[in-house]
Every structure is written in structure tokens, then in C-alpha cells.
Structure 1
Amino acid sequence: MPQIRLNDCQFHYTDQGEGPPLLLLHGLGSSEQDWEYQIPALTAHYRVLCLDMRGHGGTDKSGKGYSIALFAKDCLAFIEAMGLQKPHIVGLSMGGMIAFQLATDAPDVPASLTIINSAPEVIPRRPAEYWMAGKRLFFAHILPMPTIAKGLARLLFPKPEQQQHRDTFIERWCANDRKSYLASLRAIVGWGVSNQLDRISCPVLVVSADRDYTPVELKREYVSRMGDARLEVIEDSRHATPVDQPEAFNEVLLGFLAQVDSNRAIPTTEPAEAGLSTH
């Protein structure tokens, strides 16, 4: 298990494949295992790196001082330490929030962003939103981890034929450090960079499941406020799109990345001859 020390924390990461660098950022309560259905497809074209956020997976779990800004700072330190030049960054749920934060803090770093079932803020603004945020925090703090895992598994994978996905999710979720999970959840609620989207200068792909927690229209709205951004909707999918619709998701992601790489390969300067006098 490769390890690297960044910002006074010991991180677990994976590094596979060859080609342009691509950094995958997992969701809340997960790890690099989020991407098991993407790694084979991506490593055929890219150097694929996965970083377990602090408090998650094989990374240290202090459960103290967590914030989305700190997670993004850790990612930037990782990118620098690994010598990654203009990596593509792909983030699922909380990982998408970290990607948004990173791209607004350091707009010159990413070659592209792919945001999956996420948003540029989790700030309650209406009474119903305050109620939902408070309820989520309350039950997360009082319910045992196995109870939370079973409830989430049913939401993410409700079909009878998805039993294996439910079982795998519950097993992995119950391995979470409770203190670190709660600290990460608190880091999400109230976070936002929605007023800084104009700082993002790279191409952006937003992927939304048609049955995500938040409606497609919410993603459509914030996509409309970014420059080079587009929305792709994956049908018959819920919040864990890379798991429940891996083939459709991989096709959309690889198509986007190939287009970005192709555009980057086009020379942006005119040939020297163009500057010669014709007299």
C-alpha cells in the first residue's frame, strides 16, 4: 500500500497506468474502492491516481479539524509531491466538492474537472433545507454505523438484483472510523464556493444520475453559470453512478477526457511563417 506524508497526515494512495495524469476523488465514507469499475477502463489511457482523503480508507483518521478546504489543500500537496502536470480531476459527491474547491483555489492546476452527483455548495437556504440538514446530522450522530449503512444501501441500490452492491457497500461502510466520518459530514454542511465558479478556467463535465438525491435541474442551473461546462444525465441511476451504471458512466467520462486532450494537443500559436513580411 503506497503511503505519502502530506500536511502532517499519512495518506494512502494508488498509482496505476501510463499517460496523462488523472486523479480520482471518492465520496464521503468511502475510499479509492469507489472506482473499482473505472480503473480498468481508465488505466488503458491514463496514469490513474486515487487518494484516500484524511479520515477515510487507508489514510490517517484523527477526526479533527476537517474541512473541504483542507481536503483540497491535501490534494494540491499530493499533486505537487507526485509531480503531476495539469491532471484531470474526477470527483464523486464529496469528491466533487473537493474538486470544486481545488479548482477555485488553484485554477491553473486542473486540465479538466468531472463532477459526479455533487454541487458547488451545501448551504441550507430555505426552512426545508435547514430541516433536512439538521435531520441528517442528528441521525448520523445517534445511529450506529451498521444502521446508517443498511439505510444508505437501500437508497443507493434499491433493485432486487443489486443485492451484491448492497452487501459490498454495507461491509465497506461499517469499516469507517465513526469520529472521522462525522467530522467529514460536518465539513460538508455549510460549505460552498458557488460564488466563485467564475474562477474555474478548465473544461468541466457534470454528470448527474436521473434519480440522484438532488434534482438534475439543480445541476443544470450551476452548469449554466460556468464557462466551458456541460451536463450529462445518466439514466436509471442513483447517487453511486460509477457503481450502478459503470459502462454508461465510463463511456461519457472517456469521451469527455479524449475531447479535452485533443483540444489541448492543438497548437495555440501560429506558425512562425505567419509573422514573415510578404514584401
Structure 2
Amino acid sequence: MPVIQSNGIELHYTERGQGEPLVLLMGLGAPGSVWEEHVRAYERHFRCILVDNRGAGGTAKPEGPYTTKVMAADTIGLMDVLHIDKAHISGISMGSAIAQEVALAAPDRVISLSLNCSWQQCDTYTSSVFETLGSGYSHMPADEFQKLLQLIIYTPAYYNNHFLKLDAARAAALLEENPMPAHAFLAQCDACTSHQTTGRLGAITAPTLITVGDKDIFTPIHLSLAIAGEMKHAELQVFEGSGHTHHWDRLDDFNRITLDFLLRHRHLG
């Protein structure tokens, strides 16, 4: 379990595979290991670096405030310690907001950028979802919070068809030995709602892929469309019938599309 010092905190990460570096940034409350089903495809071609963001997994969990700019600095610090001059950067949900700030802060260090279920700023609706999740995490039993989260991130069809799997995840939440402390989860929620890159994303010139599910009720499709409208060079991939977790709803398609994008933009060709 490698741990390094970055931006004033201990930051945990794991590495898989060989090739050009691919830094993987996960979403709200989740450790880097949640990338597992994607890394199985990526690690055959890339040196995958799975990051536990500030507040999650094995990384330090200081008191807030957290911002996506601060977590981007954590990520760039990790690249510095690992002597990574340039990397592909991919983020899911909160990770995609962090990825935006990495690309803005260190444009010459980003080979390609993948923004999955992303936003450049929260609207009132999405801010309210983050606020509700923060309140729920602070006050609900772990299994009930998992149910709330599942109802938001999965489509009704996925929830119905995978109920036993999701029920097992709710039960497992009660057995978690080291759950994320509420102050860290709330600080990550605040980082998500305060994220603001509107009017700045046009400066990013790295090849960019934007993916989104058209049934996403957490970070709805119009938020990704706004990013695509500002990043005219970006490729947009809409997963029809999928929600916030389109990367799992359509796992094989997601892995194929994102891996193709990464391979097309390798420095080695």
C-alpha cells in the first residue's frame, strides 16, 4: 500500500500495469480501488495509478475545507513524487472535476483528459443532491445511506435487474471496519458543490473525451453538454439508457470506448 507525501498530506495510491502513465481519479467517498473493473482493461496497455483522493481510502482525512483545486494539487504532487512528467488523466464524477483542475493547473503535463459524468459548475438541483447525500451520510445507518446513494446513481432498470447485488453492497456497508468519517465526506461534498470551471475549460487543449448517461439524475446530461460546448475539440459519448454509473451499466462499451480513446492518444502512437 504505497503512501507518499503530497501537498501536506499522506496520499495512498496503487499501481497496475505498464506503459504510459494513466492517473485514475474516483468519485465522491470512494477509494481508487473502485476503478477495478476498468483497470482490468487498461492495465494491459498503461501504467495505471489508482488514487485515493483526500478524505477517502488510505489517504489522510484532514478537516475541511476541501476543494477540487486542492485535490488537483494533491494529484500533481503525486505525479511529482513518482517522477511522472506527463500522464493521461481520467476522472469519474468528483474525479472528473479534479481532473479538470489538473488540466488547468498543469496543461503541459496532461497527455489526454477523460471526463466521465462531469460538470463545470453545479446547478441548484445537483447542489441539492450533494447536500442531501452529505446530510444522509451524517445521520443515516450505513446500509440506508447506501440505498439512498444507489437510488440516485443507478437507473430504475439497473436497480431492478441487479437488486441482489445492490442488496449485498448495502449489507457490506454495515461491516466496513474503517468507514469514511463524516467530516471527510462532507468536505468532499463541499468540494463538489464549490467546483467552478465555467469560462476556463476552453483553455484546455489536451485531447478530451466526455462520457455521460442520458438518464443520469445526479449530474444530468445538460451539465456534460455545457462542458462540450466550451471544449469544442472534445469528443462526446452519450450512453443511452444509462445513469450516473454508465461506466458500470455499460461496462464493456465504456471500457472499449475509453480504451480506444486512450490508445489513439498515446505519445507512442
TM-score of the pair, normalised by structure 2: 0.88
AA in 1 matched with 2:100: F
| Cross-structure match for 2:243 | 238
Q: For 2:121, what is the secondary structure of its paired residue?
A: coil
Does 2:178 match 1:167? Answer: no
**What does residue range 1-279 of structure 1 map to in structure 2 within 5 Å?**
1-122=1-122, 124=124, 135=132, 137-155=134-152, 156=154, 157-168=158-169, 171=172, 175-213=179-217, 214-261=219-266, 264-265=267-268
After superposition, the C-alpha distances for 1:54-113 in whole angstroms (9 at most, x for unaligned) are 110111112333111110000010111111132111100000000011111221111111
- CA–CA separation in structure 1 for the residues paired with 2:170 and 2:240: 21
Displacement of 1:166 in angstroms is 4.7
Structure 1 residue 41, shift from structure 2 partner: 0.7
Which one-letter code corresponds to 1:193 in the other structure?
Answer: T
In the aligned structure 2, how far is the partner of 1:6 from the partner of 1:30?
Answer: 19
Once the two structures are TM-superposed, the CA of residue 201 in structure 1 deviates from its matched residue by 1.4
Which deviates more, 251-260 or 61-70? 61-70
Range 46-55 or range 129-138, more displaced: 129-138
Unaligned runs of 5+ in 1: 267-279
Q: Does the aligned pair in 2 maintain the 1:34–1:243 contact within 8 Å?
A: no
Distance 1:142 1:205 in 2: 37
Residues 227-262 of structure 1, C-alpha deviation per residue, up to 9 Å, x if partnerless?
32011012332212222321110001011112212x
3-state DSSP class of the match of 2:90?
A: strand
Name structure 2 gaps, 5 residues minimum.
none
Query: How large is the Cα RMSD of the aligned pairs?
Result: 2.3
Quick one: percent identity of the two aligned structures? 29
Q: Structure 1 residues 203, 177: closer, same or farther in 2, change over 3 A?
A: same
Q: 1:169 and 1:19, CA in 2 relative to 1: closer, same or farther beyond 3 A?
A: farther
Task: Determine the C-alpha separation between the residues in 2 that align with 1:201 and 1:170.
Answer: 44
In structure 2, the residue corresponding to 1:77 is in which secondary structure? helix
3-state DSSP of counterpart to 1:102: helix
Three-state SS of the structure 2 residue aligned to 1:195 is: coil
